Every structure is written in C-alpha cells, then in structure tokens.
Structure 1
Amino acid sequence: MVNIIKKWTESSLILKIVIGLIIGAILGITVPKWTIIGFPGELFVSALKSIAPLLVFVLVASAISKARSGIGGRFKTVIILYIFSTFLSAVVAVLGSYIFPVSIHLSAASTATAPGGLGEVMSNMILGIFSNPIDLLSKGQYLGILFWSIVFGIALKSVASDNTKEVLTDCANAVTKIVRGIIQFAPIGIMGLVFTSVSESGLGIFAQYGQLIALLVGCIAFVAFVTDPIISAVATHRNPYPLVFTCLRESGITAFFSRSSAANIPVNMQLCERLGIDRDFFSISIPLGSTINMEGAAVTITVMTLAVCHTMGISVPLPVTLALCLISTLGACGASGVAGGSLLLIPMACSLFGIGADVSMQAVAVGFIIGVIQDSCETALNSAGDALFSATAEYHDRMKRGAPVNYLGEFAK
C-alpha cells in the first residue's frame, strides 16, 4: 500500500487529471444517470473550500508576523498588475462587443436580487471586512479573512516571542500538508466534476445563445493569451508564454471544473511554491488576487451589458464605454462579496445607460443559463491570472534588485 501511494504521489498530476477528465466525459455520455459518479467531484470541491479559509488565515498571519523588510514593493506591483489587467479585460470586452455585436432574447425572468449600485457594492464589501472573524472564516469571505489575518500578523510581529511565531509557522505548515493531501485527489475529483457537467448540461440551450457564449469565451481567451502575456512581458522583459501556459495548465484547468476561485487558492499556493516564489509574498498575493483580480468578471459584466444595449438599440458613445470599463473594474473587484458573483452586477452597469432592472435582470437570467460555460471560463482566467501576476511581480522585483531569476522555478529544470 505504501508503494502504491508513493507511486501515485510521484506520478504527473497533470497526466492524472487529463485521464480523469477523459474518463469523466466518457461516463457522462454513456451512463448519465449514475449520479453517484459525480459525488467525488462535490467532495473534492467541498474539501478545498473548507480548508482554504483556514489556510489563508494561518499563512498570511504567519507571513506577516515573520515578514522581513523589502517585500512591500512586490505588493504594490502585484496590486497594480491586478487592477490594470482587470481594467484592460473590460476594454477587450468593449472592443469585442463592437466588432462582433450580439443581441440576446430577453424573455426569461430572474428572482435574484441585484445590488442597487456601485455604492452598495462597496458598502457591502467594506462592512463585510469588519464582520466577526470567526463568522468570516466559516463563510469563506476572503477579503475579510485577509484583513483580519494581516491585523493579527502585525500584532503578533510586535508582541509575540520567536517561539510563538514558530508555533504559528508549524500550524501553517500542517495545514499546507493537509492541502497537499487533498490536491492528490484532484484527478478523481475532476472526473466527478466532468461527469456531472456532461451528464446534466444539454447542448440545445447553448446553441440558442451560441453567439453570446462565443463572444464571452473569445474575449476571455484573448485576455488569457494576448493581453495578460503582454503585461507580463513588459514587467519581466522575457518571453511570457512558458509561464502563461504553466499557470493555465496547473491552475486554470482545476479552476475551470471547480468553478470556484476560493477552492483554487490552495492549488495556486502550491503552484507558486513550485515556481520558486517567496512564500511570504504569495501567501498574501494569492488570496488578495482571488479578491481583486477579476478579469473574467469584468469581461462578463461588460459583454452582457453591451449585449442588452445592442438588443434595445441603444447607441453607446466612446466616453461612456470608458465609464463602463471603470464601473466593470470596480464592480468586479467587489464581486466576490456579492451573492451570485459577477452576474448580479450586470444591472448596476446597465443603469449607466438608463436600462431598468426589469430588463437587466432578464440578462442576469440568461447569464445563469449559460453559466456552465461562462462561469467556468471566467474562474479559470481569474485563478490563472492570480498565479501569473504573483510570479510576474516576484520576477520583476528580483530583476530590479539584480538578483538571479530562475524564471520557472522547478519547471525550468
């Protein structure tokens, strides 16, 4: 048994995930009624979601309490990369919507509740930060968890003894080891998730909204393979594609099927460790990215809003599109704190053009219909971007300091 476990852990995780993906798709087509096959997928995502809040809290608190000087510049760099890439994603969505205008059939009803405006989104986000820390941990509210873990880490840095800090580090290492164990079950989990998607999602409804899906996926793909690599290349002065493909393969695939940025935080942290990034840095940059690096959400909000405008024959001048990009960027950064994610921010963006909630909420309903594809691609882009820009900020800082850069860590070997 020990030898079997050793061979399993030492074999290629990506190869095992691909095999699990293929098996899940075949079973979803051949035996769609065997719903028990999908249970490992639910269990895998649930396990990652359960451990991720605790992982983020102890890692960030430990990193802050023992932080050395000189890492502040990297945080400034990664925040700029996150915000700029999200804004640029909204610009890509605007250009895509102008080149390939799409109209949608607005007849579906939606019972979901959207925020009243950008002020409400920001208010909910700020109030959520100052909620009970234990409650935030139980609900997986990562912006609040990040805030309190930083506060806790700063307090420990000033009052705790070295032994106390070492205990917290040991706790962080223990949780990390648990996460690594869970990730070893990723191939089985992916098999279950793929089975569920294939067995439950009919193709007819996607044909009805095919043009909209194509536009959304096309914009997301353009961001992933063009704009993000350009940003990374400018910052590192190196060919970005080995790093881009590594992040998409190691992070994007898992996020695509789990459809949860929170569940993918442990996956990204393990990836950053293998890329040779400073643990003190990525312990904070990855959970921060899962909160404010919302490129996919910005694309969704912008494309869906302009689709409603095209459907209703509303002309959108250039200055207004810039305002839409800003609103999509700010709204996307607050999407993680809003029930329903990016889709429920569509009415807020539509209000910029005088479109009432009765119409815009129909677009939200359409978004939920195509959510199997839209949300999967959106989450994959967001999660892969977290790892990409964390690595980019790290390598950029090393180059400025004249330190040696092993561009892909272990992957360069």
Structure 2
Amino acid sequence: MNRLFRAWNKTSLIKRISIGVLLGALLGILIPKVTIIGLLGDMFVGGLKAIAPLLVFALVANALSQTRQGQKSNMKTVILLYLFGTFAAALTAVISHYIFPISLTLSEATAASSANSPDGVGEVFKSLLLNMVDNPINAIASANYIGVLVWAVVFGFAMRTASEHTKDLLNTMAETTSQIVRWIIDLAPFGILGLVFNTIAENGLGVILDYGVLLLVLVGTMAFVAFVINPLIAFVMMGKNPYPLVWRCIKESGTMAFFTRSSAANIPVNMRLCEELGLDPDTYSVSIPLGSTINMAGAAVTINVLTLAAVTTMGIEVDFATALILSVVSAISACGASGIAGGSLLLIPVACSLFGISNDVAMQVVGVGFVVGVIQDSCETALNSSTDVLFTAVAEKSRWVKKN
C-alpha cells in the first residue's frame, strides 16, 4: 500500500487527472445510479469555491501592502490584453457566423425563466458598481469577486504604512491560505472523477448528438481563439514562439477549468501555475482574480454565436457594421456581468435586443444554451481561465514592456 501511495504521489497531476476522467466516465456508464460517487466532485468544487475568495483577498492585500512607490507593474498591459482579447474573441465569433451560419429550432418547451436576466447594458454596469461597494465580509461569504478585489485593494494600500510585524502577519495569512489550496488541488483527481461521473450519469451522450452543429461551431470558434488568435496576440507582444506557453496554460489551467466549469474555483489553480512559471507575485496575485471577472473571451463567443443563430432563425439580415457593434456590446457585457447566475447565457437577451428580437424568443435561445451547456460551459471556462494565465505571462515577458 505504501508503494502504491508513493507511486501515486510521484505521478504528475495531469496524469492523475486523466485517470480520474477515465474512471469517472466508466463508472458513469456502468453504474449511473450510484450517486454518492458524484459527491466527490461536489465536495472538490465546493472546497475550491470556499477557499478562493479568502485566497484572493489575502494575496491581493498582501501583495499591495508590500509594494513601494515607483515599483514597476505590468497590470496596465494585462488589463489591455484582457479587454482586447475578449473583443477579438467576439469578432471571431461574428466571422464564424458568416462562414458557418446556423439556425435553431425554437419552441415553448425550450423557454427559460427570464427573471434573472439583465434588461440591458445599463443594468449590467449598475450591478457591477453595486458589487464594488458590497460589505467586505458579505463579499467574501458570497464569492462576490468584484467586491473582494475592491476591498483587498483598499486594505492593501491602507496597510502599506502599517508596521513590519503587521505586514508579516498578513504575509503569513497569505502563505497559509495558499498551502490549504495546494492540499485541495492535490485531491483534484478524485474531484474530477466525481464531476465526470455526474455529467455522464445525468446527461449521457445524447445531448452532443442533438445539437451537434451548434456545439461544433461554439467549440470550434473557442478552439480557434485558443490556438490561433491568442497565440497571435502573444507573438506580437513577445516576439517569439508562443505555443509552448499557450500549450502549458491550456494543459494545466484549461484542463482543470473544463471539469470544474468555474473560473472562481480555478483561481487557486492559476495562482499555482503562475508561481511555477516564475511570474511576479505582485502582478499575478491581482491579475488572476481580476481575469476571472473581466477576461471573458469564451463568454463573448457564446453570446455572439447564439445571438447570431437567433438572428438567422428569425430571418434578419445583419451587415458587418452591426455585427461589429454586437461584438463591442457582447465584450463589455461579458466583462461586466460575469457574476450573474447563469453566466454568459443570461446576457443573450441583451445582445438580441440590438436586433429587435423579443425577450420571449431570446429566452428560448437561452434554453437551448442550457441544453448544450454541458459542453459549451466547460469549453468556455477552459478558454477564459487558461487565457488569464497566458496574458499575465505575456505581459511580463513582453518586449514592449521591457522597452518602456
């Protein structure tokens, strides 16, 4: 038993996760009614989600409290990359619509409740601003990352004038929280096993066949962004082959995010990867949680693909200028409303309103989105999360930053 335990610990995390995926899929097919297996996945994601807000607060506050005036930071470059990358992904989805136009079969059966969907971009920004001034304790308890980030920044700057003993205490809190995160991540293979089991047992493989074309366009567009658009941006910034970095981000961050389907739960994973890449902790301790909120390339793709599918279904002609405006709206909405329940799907009515499509029809499209969400949401989260690390690393390695 000891030999088996030692061999397991020596095996790379990715290989252990692969074993968990295979076992989860096999058990989901053979014994789908043994639901206790899925509890492993729920506990794993629950653990990550529970510790992530505290980790973000501790790391951001600690990093800012240790900084000195005049200290160089890559945050401006990171934020610009996040915003440009999200817009580029939205524009890529528009181009994919012209190459692979798709229509949907809509009916009342697919309609979803519109109670939680925003009425427009104005409501998105109102929600964003209110989240910024949320009670700090409530922000951590409810995983409101906008609020957590704002208060962490405020506390961090306020503690720059604190005594060294107080700063050491904050640093110890950050290190302790990080160690707890490492323990949770080590349990990933068992958590992934439970998550895969749940997916196979509850949905089977039929959902992939029923909406195959829509899924192919969604996943294909996201893959194009991940393997072509993002590397192109990285190459322009760094001036060298970006694919070793791109592949590592997708393999280690994207793989985990695909199964957890939560950018928030993947924050600790991304923090650990940034540490392994040797990046500046003063930058990534802020950029990674910020990226989980505003770096939404996958969400922008989802909004545009499904909205333009609705437009095609309704027989509405769309010129490129209007599609360009749609890209701007979807990119801004995705950045500002990432915390809304239902994620990117509930922003579809906002985008559909640009074309005069009624809310009833738009919510039927949302219903279709929930049907394919088993695959769509996983791929979307994988793209979003892996790009957080990629752009953080690109900003630090950028030749443009070095010249300045």
Length-normalised TM-score, structure 2: 0.96
1:318 Cα offset (Å):
1.3
Does structure 2 retain, via aligned residues, the 8 Å contact 1:125–1:334? yes
**Aligned-partner SS, 1:337:** coil
Does structure 1 retain, via aligned residues, the 8 Å contact 2:274–2:389? yes
- The number of aligned residues is 401
Does structure 2 retain, via aligned residues, the 8 Å contact 1:146–1:288? yes
**Aligned-partner SS, 2:224:** helix
**Aligned-partner SS, 1:104:** coil
Q: Paired residue for 2:321?
A: 319
189, 192, 203: which one aligns with 1:190? 192
Q: Paired residue for 1:409?
A: none
Q: Paired residue for 1:276?
A: 278
2:29 is the alignment partner of 1:29: yes
Does structure 1 retain, via aligned residues, the 8 Å contact 2:132–2:146? yes
Structure 2: which amino acid aligns with 1:297?
A: A
2:177 is the alignment partner of 1:136: no
Q: Paired residue for 1:308?
A: 310
1:9 Cα offset (Å):
3.9
Matched residues in 2 for 1:399 and 1:369: separation? 44
1:128 Cα offset (Å):
1.0
Q: Paired residue for 2:67?
A: 67
149, 155, 169: which one aligns with 2:152? 149
**Aligned-partner SS, 1:115:** coil
1:337 Cα offset (Å):
2.5
Q: Paired residue for 1:382?
A: 384
Note the aligned Cα RMSD (angstroms).
1.6
**Aligned-partner SS, 1:80:** helix
Residues 60, 33 of structure 1: alpha-carbon distance in 2 compared, 3 angstrom cutoff: same
Residues 77, 376 of structure 1: alpha-carbon distance in 2 compared, 3 angstrom cutoff: same
The residue correspondences of 1:392-411 to structure 2 (distance < 5 A) are: 392-396=394-398, 400=402
Q: Paired residue for 1:47?
A: 47
**Aligned-partner SS, 2:318:** coil
Structure 2: which amino acid aligns with 1:115?
A: P
Q: Paired residue for 1:407?
A: none
**Aligned-partner SS, 2:378:** helix
1:53 Cα offset (Å):
0.2
- After superposition, the C-alpha distances for 1:238-260 in whole angstroms (9 at most, x for unaligned) are 11110011000100011001000
Q: Paired residue for 1:235?
A: 237
Q: Paired residue for 1:104?
A: 104
1:146 Cα offset (Å):
0.5
1:383 Cα offset (Å):
0.3
Matched residues in 2 for 1:366 and 1:155: separation? 47
Residues 6, 206 of structure 1: alpha-carbon distance in 2 compared, 3 angstrom cutoff: closer
Structure 2: which amino acid aligns with 1:306?
A: L
1:72 Cα offset (Å):
5.2
Q: Which runs of 5+ in 1 are unaligned?
A: 403-413
Q: Percent identity?
A: 56
Residues 116, 79 of structure 1: alpha-carbon distance in 2 compared, 3 angstrom cutoff: same
1:205 Cα offset (Å):
3.4
Q: Paired residue for 2:341?
A: 339
Does structure 2 retain, via aligned residues, the 8 Å contact 1:93–1:299? yes
2:16 is the alignment partner of 1:16: yes
Matched residues in 2 for 1:8 and 1:238: separation? 36
1:88 Cα offset (Å):
0.3
Q: Paired residue for 2:174?
A: 172
Does structure 2 retain, via aligned residues, the 8 Å contact 1:104–1:209? no
